[in-house]
Amino acid sequence: MPQTAATHTFRHLKTVHILKNLATKPVDLTVEGVLSSERIERYCAQSSEFKLLYGTERVTDDVLQALKELAHEARLVEKMEAMQRGDVVNKIEGYPSESRMVLHTAMRDFFMHPNEGDNAKKAAKAEKKECDKLKDFMAKIDAQGKFTTLIQIGIGGSDLGPRALSVAMHAFRKPGRQVHFISNVDPDDASGILQQIDPKRTLVVVVSKSGTTLETLTNEELVRSRFKQAGCKPEEHFISVTGEKSPMDNPSRYLASFYMWDYIGGRYSVTSMVGAVALTFALGYDQFMNILKGAHEMDRLALNPDIHVNLPLLGAMLGIWNRNFLHYQTVAILPYSQALLRFTAHLQQCNMESNGKRIDKKGNPVDFDTGPVIWGEPGTNGQHSFYQLIHQGTNVVPVEFIGFRESQYQEDLNIQGTTSQEKLLSNLFAQSIALAKGQKNDNPNKVFPGNRPNQILLAKRLDPFTLGALMSYYENKIAFQGFCWNINSFDQEGVQLGKVLANKIIDHFKSKRQGKKSEKFPEAEAMLRHLETL
C-alpha cells in the first residue's frame, strides 16, 4: 500500500513510476544533432559562484520535470529546512540510535543571519564563542612568531576534510606556514611527518570528539614522545579539539582546547573547530571566514524551492536519475584543478559513509539502490590512467567534472599559442563531449559507445569563498539524496563492527606480550598464526 511522503519508501512514490518508464528509452546523445550547442546552452543552471552544465547527462525536459516533481513529492527542501533549523533528523525510528540534530550548517551561520530555529541559533552562538577564542589564540601565536608548522592528528572526518581544504588552499597560505596531517595508525605515517618538522617550531592539534579514538590517541602518544626527545614540553605545543569535558579537555596536557559538538558528524565537521584551527593557522582568520561565507551562501541556496536555482538539489536529482533509473553503480568525481588533489577522497567519505545504507529510517531493509561508489583523481592525470575504462569499458561510469576559468596562482605562459589553463580546460570540455557523443568507426578498437553521462561544475577561480561553496554544494547534495531515499545519512554504524573486533585482537596482542590468556577468537587466531611464519 502506498505510503505518504512523510514515511515513504522510495519505490512507492508516484513519480518513481513515471521515471521508470522514461528510463526505458533515455535520450541517445550519440545521435547526430542531439548534443547541440542549443542543448548545452539550455541545460545549464547558475547560482552563486557556479554554473552546472548538464546537457551531457541523459536527460530530457520530461525527465527533468519528473525529477522536479519527485523532489517535491519527497519534500526534499522541507527536510533540508528541518535539518538546518535543528530538528532531530539523525535517528532510526523505533530502534536505539544517535537521535541527534544535524547542525553543521550552523557552524557557518553565526556571522550572517542565523536560522529561525532556536536549536540552530544556539548552535551558531556556541560556535561563535569558539571562533572568538580561536581568533584571540591565533593572534597571540602570530605575535609570538614562534610557530611556523602545524600537525593535525585525527582520522576519518578529523583528517579528510581538513586535509582536502588545506591542500586546496595552499596558494593562499600565509608566508612561512606549513600544515601536515597524521591519520593512519601505521607508525610510518607519523614517522614520515616527524622527519620533516622542527618540534620547537611546531604546534600539534589533536582531534577527537570523544577523546578516546584509538588511532588518534596512539599517534598522539607517539608524537608526544618525539617532542620530549627533542627537549620540548608537549603541553606547550599541543592543542585539543574535542567534546567539552572529554578526557582531552585537559589544560594540564594542552596549550588550548576548542570544542566540537555531538550534532556535528565527523565528515561534515570541517567548518567547525575540526578544520578551523589548522585552516586559520595556515590562511589567517579572515580567509577561514571566507570559507565559511561561501559555505553559508550555498546552504541558503539549498533552501530555495526552485530546482534551477538550488544547485545541490539539481545535482542530487541528476544523481538519483543515474543511480536508481539508469542503474549506474559508481560516480567518478574528476576535478580539473591540482589544488583539489584530496577533495575526491573527502567526498568519498562524505558520500559513502552517509548514504552507504541498507535500511530506511524505520529500520526496514530497502529494495532499491542507495549510495554509489565514489572515486576519482584530478584531470588531466586521470586521462592517462583510468579514462580508458570510462570511455570504452563495459561499465558505464557517470562523471562529475569540476573546473575553473582561472588558475589559483595566475602564473601561466602562452606556449604554442595557448596558456596551460586553456589547455587544461580544453581537455575538460573535450572529455565531456567525447564521453557523451562517442565515436563510430569501422575499426572496432576505435569505437567509443558514448552515452556516458557527465556534468560539469564550473566557477571562475578556486579561492576560499568558492571552496567553501563547493564543499557545501556536495554536503547538501548528499543530504538531499539521503532524504529522497528516506535513509539516515548522518550515522555510521558500518564502521563499528570492525572497531569492536579490532579491539579484541589488540587485547590478544597485549595479553600475549604479558604472558596472559586472552578471550578466545578462533578466526583471528588463525590469521595471526600466519604472522608467526613470516
DSSP string, 464-504: HHHHHHHHHHHHHHHHHHHHHHT--TT--GGGHHHHHHHHH
DSSP string, 51-74: EEE-TTSS--HHHHHHHHHHHHHT
The residue among 303, 314, 347, 375 whose CA lies nearest residue 474 is 347
Say how many C-beta atoms besides its own lie within 10 A of residue 363's C-beta. 12
The whole-angstrom separation of Cα 458 and Cα 449 is 26
The whole-angstrom separation of Cα 482 and Cα 505 is 34
The residue among 125, 110, 152, 109 whose CA lies nearest residue 277 is 152
Cβ within 8 Å of residue 433, ≥6 positions away: 35, 56
> Which one from 57, 215, 297, 353 is the annotated catalytic residue?
353
Lookup: cell for 503: 579491539
> Which one from 384, 517, 520, 530 is the annotated catalytic residue?
384
Beta strands in 220-352 (DSSP E): 238-242, 256-259, 330-335
Lookup: cell for 388: 580508458
Lookup: cell for 230: 627533542
The residue among 323, 367, 297, 357 whose CA lies nearest residue 47 is 297
Q: Residue 47: which H helix or E strand, with range?
A: strand 44-47
The residue among 412, 133, 396 whose CA lies nearest residue 285 is 133
468-469-471 Cα angle (round to 5): 65
> Which one from 20, 499, 510, 512 is the annotated catalytic residue?
499
104 is catalytic: no
The whole-angstrom separation of Cα 260 and Cα 134 is 13
353 is catalytic: yes
State the pairing for strand pair 50-53/256-259: unpaired
Exposure string for 83-103, b = 16+ CB within 10 A, e = fewer: bbbbbebbbbeeeebbebbbb
- Bridge partners (DSSP) of residue 401 are 334, 456
499 is catalytic: yes
The whole-angstrom separation of Cα 229 and Cα 328 is 53
Task: Find the helix packing angle between 464-485 and 343-355, rounded to 10°.
Answer: 20
The whole-angstrom separation of Cα 216 and Cα 184 is 8
Check: CB of residue 164 under 8 Å from CB of residue 197: no
Phi, psi of 155 (to 5 degrees): -140, 160
Residues marked as catalytic:
353, 384, 499
